Amino acid sequence: MPFAHKTRVAVLRGGPSSEYEVSLKSGETVLKNLPAKYKPIDVFISRAGVWHVGGMEKKPAEALKHVDVVFVALHGQYGEDGKVQRILEHLGIPFTGSKSFASALAMNKHLTKNALGHLKDKIKFAMHKVFTRDEIKQKGTHEIFRIIPHPSIVKPLTAGSSVGITIVKTFFDLESALNRALEHSDSVIVEEFIEGREVTCGVVDNFRGQKTYPLFPIEIIPKTSFYDYHAKYVSDDTTYICPAKFDESVRQTIQEASKMIHESMGLRHYSRSDFIVHPKRGVYFLEVNTLPGMTSHSLIPKAGLAGGFPLSEFFDHVLTLAVAHK
């Protein structure tokens, strides 16, 4: 019987971002769950951005020299902002996830909302305003506090996994919230905080006969006031309900919005959109994740399993799409 060639998959993990630890775990999940037809290659990227294979430092072109496809298991800066995607596009190597431009667009919360502006009659957005580091110095905390309704939520403009996020209820909370967000990004988005049920919904390309297949929405019930980094990756106290128990019309709104966001922004292979469901005002879009986590706590794996879509099948599916350049 002739020897069957295994598809060589470089799994990129680590990287110079605040989500380094999460990425290591996501990459480990991918490495452990690839079907037998793949040969996994662990490509570790240090916090300094240095690539390694088998413990040896390598330039990206060297690390990927004999690779058929790349599974991008990076998160945050460098991994989700289009930088690593530009490297892979330059090298001409197929990779999972969105291309460089769409990744950069989705990483910036303000640009995302602008890009989806034509959908404002179909998708609700919280009132928000962006401030650069210099504008914060010039305007001062008093003026910024007057601009946005409160309570508000202060976020770094270009970070994921809810790092650097603070809920602001009083004027005295705002200064420390702005400083915290500026530790992760040079600009800050201050957004009206909408009370409600937190929900997320993943989508997958070309699956089960649909161009964009929506997974089950998941309701997230953290013990803290919102689903922050600790609730996502450290605490076991967060409750996940999958499928989320919403009225059929609300479930459809969430799933349709997730599909529209994915398609309108030109995202690829899979993504996950986050929402708040206010009891009277309805479903509000928060942000979209182009490379959502793949750890044991992560939500795409949970939704896939609930829908009879185990991790090994999911990884095989997106790698197949990547190799076919779809």
pLDDT per residue as tens digits for the range 72-130: 999 988 999 999 999 999 999 999 999 999 999 999 888 999 999 999 999 999 989 99
- Starting from the edge strand earliest in sequence, which strands make up the sheet with 56-58, in order? 56-58, 51-53, 38-45, 7-14, 69-72
C-beta atoms surrounding 210 within 10 Å: 12
CA gyration radius, the chain: 20
Q: Domains, the chain, ranges and CATH?
A: 7-96 (3.40.50.20), 106-123+195-323 (3.30.470.20), 128-192 (3.30.1490.20)
pLDDT at 132 over 60: yes
Which pLDDT score, from 0 to 100, does residue 1 have?
Answer: 42
Active-site residues, by number, are: 19, 161, 233, 272, 274, 287, 289, 293
pLDDT at 234 over 80: no
Which pLDDT score, from 0 to 100, does residue 312 have?
Answer: 94
What is the pTM for the complete model shown?
A: 0.89
Q: How far apart are CA 21 and CA 177, in angstroms?
A: 23
Q: Are 246 and 220 in contact (CB under 8 A)?
A: no
Return the closest-CA partner of residue 189 out of 241, 227, 135.
135
